[in-house]
Amino acid sequence: FLPQTITGNFANVIHGLNTNHLTDLIIQRSKRMILDTLGVGLLGTSTEVCQKVKQYSKIYSSDISSTIWGHLDFRLPPLYAAFVNGVAVHSMDFDDTWHPATHPSGAVLPAVIALSEAFPQKKKISGLDLLLAFNVGIEVQGRLLHFSSEARNIPKRFHPPTVVGTMGSAAACAKLLALNQMECKNTLAIAASYAGAPLANAATQTKPLHIGNAAKHGLEAACLASQGLQGNNQILDMESGIGAFYTDYNPQTLPTLQSYPWLLDRQDVAIKRFPAHLGTHWVADAASSVRRKLVKNSDNLLLLDKIEKVIVKVPEVKYVNRPSPNSEHEARHSFQFVACSALLDGSMSVHSFTSDNIQRPALQELLCKTQLQHPSDNKPSFESLYCEVTVLLRDGSTISHRCDTFYGHWRKPLTKEDLEKKFQSNASKVLPAEAIEGIIETVYNLEKVEDCSVLSMFLSGQSARVLPEKLHL
């Protein structure tokens, strides 16, 4: 039948999409996202914010439980596993970013993995089921972002993962739970009442909770809906529904299921090369290029006292404009910090954000000489922004470089080797080599995996001697 409302239409699509709809490109792209997200999450389990939420969540242990990535020593109920793993994924701002802007995978993957381990009747979930649910979660986020022109630019009011991420997690979990159309509608309605966190907690320790909560609350919404809870079945249609989070809101129905056109097909994600706000990736590339030119002219030495001024041309994004950041969270959200760091070191890495590196005198000195400029043609949108770094030397000469597309952006995606390298580097902080290999194998072959619990097993750090059988390759 033809659904009359957009909400009903969404529910229809969530309910009706099946594995045959997944195209090759979708499968390829989403598996890259899954691998990257897992790596980022594993690395993130060692952060301070993650320690705190682990401590907190331990008060809720029970017998139904799911894996905490990187831990063999304890498990948590699915809800809190989703929460903790979600926090881990976003803890260093190292996770993927999409256009329109949000962090799509972190809100969805922890929830579906946690849920897959805790199925009511111990049902086996295949890799393909997981892949489908994951993509439903991504798709719903993308579609919702298109309902408002505000979403095209870097946000100012609500942090997008908390708005669309919650909805995406809910949709993905509803899919995995194979809820009927009515239950899918209610899932969306209930999830909306959990959505929405203000942007002001970005650049603080609380920001990672935005993704953790999006995952957790989406899962909760799906569970409540499966128990029969009902909400407003026009939640996506009404201004007082999801529309409440936007000043202009124009919902549209989804395309028909016949050869469904996934957004991920048309628009890939950006994968970060270092853990900081996406906007800083343009800055890092531009600054690194400037440094190369600088040292070429002076026997490979960066002569700091010769630098008079550093000018960084970026769009106006207030929450990433921090002339002298004090914490790692602030440093990850500072154009100035990344410019100076890249100038000093030639490239950015996970280590650029340790407090030792943040406090180094050379860096602090360079920061004092740095200023931002906001050219009017530099729009605050991840699709079109650019960065130009100019170093003014005392002798009057200038060295400049402009970056339009950094390596890792969707226009210039990471190669398979570099994606894997990032994963290896991240995962090796907490997992043994066999488990790391196991995850890579499993994700690369996800659509053929019969029982995706093998993924969770590797995530906890167990290595499988039973690898071949489980994969059924």
Partner 1 sequence: PEETVTSSFASFIHAVRPEHLSEIVCHRSKRMILDSIGVGLVGSTTHVFDIALKYCLLYSSVAVSNVYGKPGVKLSPTLAAFTNGVATHSMDFDDTWHPATHPSGAVLPALLAASQMLPPNSKPNGLDFLLAFNVGLEVQGRLMHFSTEAHNIPKRFHPPSVVGTMGSAAATAKLLSLSMAQCTHALGIAASLAGAPMANAATQAKPLHIGNATRLGLEAALLAARGMEANPFILDDISGCSGFSAFYSIYQPKPLSTPNEHHEFLLEKQDIAFKRFPAHLGMHWVVDAALSVRNLFINYAGSFSPSLIRTIVLKIPVSKYINRPFPNSEHQARHSFQFNACTALLDGEVGLSSFTESSIHRQELRELLHKVVVEHPEDNVANFDKMYGEVALLLKSGDVLTGKCDTFYGHWRKPLSRESLLKKFRSNASHVLPEEKVETIITMVDNLENLSDSSQL
Contact residues for partner 1, defined by CB under 8 A = 49, 52-53, 55-56, 59-64, 77, 79-80, 156-159, 162, 186, 189-190, 192-206, 209-210, 213, 220, 223-224, 227-232, 234-235, 238-245, 316-319
Among residues 151, 164, 163, the alpha carbon closest in space to that of 247 is found at: 151
Which residue lies nearer to partner 1 by CB, 171 or 342? 171
Which residue lies nearer to partner 1 by CB, 64 or 178? 64
| Nearest approach, Cβ of residue 319 and partner 1 (Å) | 4
| Nearest approach, Cβ of residue 294 and partner 1 (Å) | 33
| Nearest approach, Cβ of residue 288 and partner 1 (Å) | 28
Among residues 96, 239, 110, the alpha carbon closest in space to that of 172 is found at: 110
| Nearest approach, Cβ of residue 215 and partner 1 (Å) | 14
Which residue lies nearer to partner 1 by CB, 164 or 436? 164
Which residue lies nearer to partner 1 by CB, 321 or 445? 321
| Nearest approach, Cβ of residue 245 and partner 1 (Å) | 7
Which residue lies nearer to partner 1 by CB, 229 or 393? 229
| Nearest approach, Cβ of residue 195 and partner 1 (Å) | 8
| Nearest approach, Cβ of residue 222 and partner 1 (Å) | 11
HEC string of the chain? CCCCCHHHHHHHHHHHCCHHHCCHHHHHHHHHHHHHHHHHHHHHCCCHHHHHHHHHHHHHCCCCCEECCCCCCCEECHHHHHHHHHHHHHCCCCCCECCCCCCHHHHHHHHHHHHHCCCCCCCCCCHHHHHHHHHHHHHHHHHHHCCCHHHHCCCCCECHHHHHHHHHHHHHHHHHCCCCHHHHHHHHHHHHCCCCCEHHHCCCCCHHHHHHHHHHHHHHHHHHHHCCCCCCCCCCCCCCCHHHHCCCCCCCCCCCCCCCCCHHHHCCCECCCCCCCCHHHHHHHHHHHHHHHHHHCCCCCCCHHHEEEEEEECCCCHHHCCCCCCCHHHHCCCHHHHHHHHHHHCCCCHHHHCHHHHHCHHHHHHHHCEEEECCCCCCCCCCCCCEEEEEEECCCCEEEEEECCCCCCCCCCCCHHHHHHHHHHHHCCCCCHHHHHHHHHHHHCHHHCCCCHHHHHHHCCCCCCCHHHHHCC
| Nearest approach, Cβ of residue 312 and partner 1 (Å) | 18
Which residue lies nearer to partner 1 by CB, 39 or 44? 44
Which residue lies nearer to partner 1 by CB, 181 or 424? 181
Which residue lies nearer to partner 1 by CB, 229 or 295? 229
| Nearest approach, Cβ of residue 108 and partner 1 (Å) | 19
| Nearest approach, Cβ of residue 68 and partner 1 (Å) | 15
Which residue lies nearer to partner 1 by CB, 112 or 414? 112
Give dist(CA 78, CA 104) in Å, integer: 20
Which residue lies nearer to partner 1 by CB, 181 or 205? 205
- Burial class from Cβ neighbours inside 10 Å (0-12, 13-18, 19+) for residue 396 reads exposed
